[in-house]
Amino acid sequence: MLDRLGEDYRRHGNCAVHESAVVEEGAVLNGAIIIGEEAFVAAGAYLRGGVYLGRQCIVGPCCELRCKQVTRSLS
């Protein structure tokens, strides 16, 4: 699936992060993860394999997600 993403995604192993997304230092991305346009992942958040964050989704500090498709913000 990562191969089908456009060039506006930065790939880091099994993760793909849109160039307009923000992933704060201290957030943990572990496994196959896609972070969409203008999404935000706070420091201390833990995302495990199988997570897809849609456009403008927000994951707050100390949140943990695994095997989820999120199309609206979490905090």
For 19-56, what is each residue's pLDDT tens digit?
999 999 999 999 999 999 999 999 999 999 889 999 99
Q: Is residue 75 part of a domain?
A: no
Tokens of 12: 């880091």
Q: Is residue 15 part of a domain?
A: yes
* Contact criterion met (CB below 8 Å) for 14 and 32: yes
Q: Is residue 31 part of a domain?
A: yes
> What is the model's pLDDT at position 72?
61
Distance between CA atoms of residues 39 and 72, nearest Å: 10
Nearest in space to 43 (alpha carbons), one of 58, 26, 28, 31: 26
The residue segments making up the domain with residue 49 are 2-70
pLDDT band at 5 (very low <50, low <70, confident <90, very high): confident
Beta bridge partners of 34: 16, 52
Residue 1 has pLDDT above 70, yes or no: no
Q: Is residue 36 part of a domain?
A: yes
From residue 20, how far is each of 25, 29, 66, 67 by CA, in Å? 16, 17, 22, 23
- Count up the domains in the chain and report the number: 1
User: For the whole model, what pTM was predicted?
Assistant: 0.86
